[in-house]
């Protein structure tokens, strides 16, 4: 079932705030709807946060699935309604096999949706157990200081972004740090930083250097290059679920046997 206004356009928005919010709240309140799978990210989700029916989600939790701009909704729902949401692919096109398997595992069969990531990079070794939280870094930075920012105490912070140079990633991480959001992190699980501009002047510092500085200052393990973010084959991660990050083993294991909402 598609939302009534799903094909609307209003400049860079997919329709008016009123209509998009009506579609979202309608799906949240409709008991015949078992889950909400977003068609794309882009921009505009933050404009809806104050009007979301969080009480209805508390009464009848249902999966919310998406990534990128949908991070705003993940954060707000986790903070206000206290339920698990799913950082995973949007419903724009058929999914590759691995992405489909992970989505089904996280949302329907409650099997392991993550696991080993052989191509991931060890930034700061170690092992941590915590609650998965986060998503798109630009959205998390934009939410800092608002009542919709996620509570990252005791969290394994999942991050991804697209079309951002490393200096902007550095600045956004510093914003979260200076806002007091990172002081009680358990670990950092960085996915993909895709589509960044070329460093024509040779002045860029690498992403891993920036992440290593942050991880060292927080004394937490950190991995980069997980299959999370703007890529075809991505994991679906239940934000709000408990997971174990083992950087040296290059693994992120979600404890699907623990109640997650």
For the chain, percent helix, then strand, then coil, each to nearest 5?
A: 35, 20, 45
Q: Vertex 255, ends 254 and 261: CA angle to 5°?
A: 100
CA–CA separation, 253 vs 227, rounded Å? 13
Report which of residues 258 and 42 the model is more confident about: 42
Domains of the chain: 17-254 (3.50.30.60)
Q: Tens of pLDDT along 46-67?
A: 999 999 999 999 999 999 999 9
**206-217 average pLDDT score:** 97
Assign residue 37 a region: left if phi > 0, alpha if psi is -120 to 50, beta otherwise? beta
pLDDT > 70 fraction of the chain, expressed in percent and rounded: 95
DSSP 248: T
Task: Give, rounded to a whole angstrom, the gap between the first and last alpha carbons of the chain.
Answer: 24
Token pair 């991070």 in the structure block, residue: 71
3-state secondary structure of 239: strand
Tell whether the model's pLDDT for residue 103 goes beyond 50: yes
pLDDT of 40:
80
Tokens of 167: 């200096």
pLDDT of 198:
64
Token pair 């002045």 in the structure block, residue: 203
Q: How many CB atoms lie within 10 A of CB 258?
A: 9
Q: Tens of pLDDT along 134-188?
A: 999 999 999 999 999 999 999 999 999 999 999 999 999 999 999 999 999 999 9
List the catalytic residues: 68, 160, 230
Token pair 């991804």 in the structure block, residue: 160
Instruction: Tell me the pTM.
Output: 0.94
Report which of residues 90 and 202 the model is more confident about: 90
Tell whether the model's pLDDT for residue 88 goes beyond 50: yes
């Amino acid at each position: 079932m598609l939302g009534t206004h799903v094909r609307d356009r209003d400049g860079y928005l997919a329709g008016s705030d009123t209509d998009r919010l009506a579609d979202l709240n309608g799906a949240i309140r409709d008991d015949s709807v078992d889950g909400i799978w977003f068609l794309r990210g882009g921009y505009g989700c933050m404009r809806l946060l104050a009007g979301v029916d969080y009480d209805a989600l508390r009464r009848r939790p249902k999966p919310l699935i998406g990534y990128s701009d949908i991070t705003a909704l993940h954060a707000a729902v986790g903070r206000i309604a206290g339920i698990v949401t799913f950082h995973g692919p949007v419903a724009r096109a058929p999914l590759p096999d691995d992405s489909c398997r992970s989505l089904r595992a996280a949302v329907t069969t409650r099997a392991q949706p993550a696991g080993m990531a052989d191509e991931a990079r060890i930034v700061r070794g170690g092992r941590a157990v915590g609650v998965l939280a986060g998503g798109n870094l630009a959205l998390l930075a934009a939410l800092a200081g608002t009542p919709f920012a996620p509570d990252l105490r005791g969290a394994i912070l999942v991050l991804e972004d697209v079309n951002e140079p490393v200096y902007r990633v550095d600045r956004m991480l510093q914003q979260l740090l200076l806002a007091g959001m990172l002081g009680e992190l358990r670990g950092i699980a960085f996915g993909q930083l895709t589509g960044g501009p070329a460093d024509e002047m040779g002045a860029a510092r690498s992403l891993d250097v920036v992440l290593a500085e942050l991880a060292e200052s927080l004394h937490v393990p950190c991995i980069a290059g997980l299959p999370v973010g703007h890529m075809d084959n991505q994991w679906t991660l239940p934000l709000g679920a408990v997971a174990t990050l083992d950087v040296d083993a290059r693994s992120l294991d979600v404890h699907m046997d623990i109640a997650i909402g």
